Amino acid sequence: MAKGAYSILKKKLVDKVQSWFDESGGDGAGGWIDLSRGINTPYSPNGPPPGYAFNWPHPGIDLPYIYEPVYSTISGTAHTKEMPGGFGHYIQVHGGDLDVIYGHLSKWLVHEGQRVHPGTKLGISGNTGASTGPYLHYEMHQNGRPINPIKWLKAHPGKKGGKSSAPREVSAWRPEVMQALRLAGLPANSAYANAWLRQINTESSGNPSATGPGSSEGTPRGLVQVKPGTFNAYKLPGHGNVLNGLDNLIAGMRYAKARYGGRMLSTIGVGGPYANGGMVTKHQIAEIGEGNKPEMVVPLTRRNRAIQLIEQAMSYVGMNKGKTEVTVNNDNSTIERLLQQNISLNAQNNNLTQTLINVVQNLPVGIDGDSLNKHFNKKNGNSISLEAYSKGGSIV
């Protein structure tokens, strides 16, 4: 497939999946509002809260956030708004049937119309509009009516355990990366943080439920794709959920620390999976065949030899060669085979990948971006389960 067509396809796919999340209102992750600091003014939608000195309903909650970052609790679209005698400088996030209001901010850190996710830093709390000091007014509406935010926040801890278990932009993982660096006994500085954010990008694109291709040692899972044995050996007490982003980072970092020590930054965040094969684009001295377990190096600039080695590798790991046709002179063959492999190894990913393969296999020669778009939309249908989405490795 032409390179241009492939990147259009990839972008369409990412956008499409993004929009499914937004249409469904995303996963939601209530842990991004810190209820443990207590409530200044309670939720009271039908009249003034008893014992307070004002005479109107309070359809949200006020929290003691003193010029501090506030994070989105849902996936959706952020709107930057002004209400001088009310919420002041505020942000409204719309996703699915929910609207969430963050009032009295001193600063916006997102722009009008920006897509946000649980954990996206929206702004800094403040004292704008009708407020008597710096705090956060947090309000939620479902289908246009106020709902009790505390109830919702507690009922939506995030998929499979806590605020670190929903997909989000790679950069929004920074708080967990910093926390994990400290817990792993590593320098919590920007060089290390940025290296691990780049590693997250390579491994899972920010999806803590990502599942990679399996091997004899099991299937690597989570934000930085940790294998089961590695996870069990390097997890910390109280951080035993491989699909929780923080827990996954802690185990990945402690493993990398044990394996690479002071050389960590020459391995982590340089564009390759760290214990799981992958592409190397810079001259380096590498450890290959660790523990005398067979690994393979494929020369990507020598096409015939590369395909020969990929064939060998597939046969080694038990892929059925009979089911896929390989034509060395056809540019599509390797991509199609990788996609096919993804299908057989990742049951969760089936629907999405099959759609992609249908598109790829039916592409007319010389297709342009527009018709590819139409083609994709036609193939996509509405039946693909969000739940099943898992990006995994580096194929899409």
Q: Site residues (CB under 5 A) for Zn ion?
A: 62, 137
Give the separation between CA 207 and CA 184, rounded to whole angstroms.
21
Distances (CA, A) of 290 to 38, 276, 314: 51, 11, 20
Residues contacting 369, CB < 8 A, separation 6+ = 4, 5, 8
* Nearest residue to the partner Zn ion, using Cβ: 137
| Bridge partner list, 137 | 62, 103
Smallest distance, Zn ion to C-beta of residue 43, A: 9
* 12 vs 137, beta carbon nearer Zn ion: 137
Tokens standing for residue 363: 């592409």
Cβ burial of 137 (10 Å; 0-12, 13-18, 19+) is: buried
* 63 vs 352, beta carbon nearer Zn ion: 63
Smallest distance, Zn ion to C-beta of residue 41, A: 5
* 86 vs 161, beta carbon nearer Zn ion: 86
* 45 vs 271, beta carbon nearer Zn ion: 45
* 62 vs 247, beta carbon nearer Zn ion: 62
What is the DSSP-derived secondary structure letter of residue 218? B
Smallest distance, Zn ion to C-beta of residue 62, A: 4
Smallest distance, Zn ion to C-beta of residue 81, A: 15
Smallest distance, Zn ion to C-beta of residue 87, A: 8
Smallest distance, Zn ion to C-beta of residue 133, A: 12
- DSSP letter string, 258-315: HHHGGGGGGTTTSSS-SSS-----S------SGGG-------TT-HHHHHHHHHHHHH
Give the separation between CA 31 and CA 157, rounded to whole angstroms.
6
* 103 vs 158, beta carbon nearer Zn ion: 103
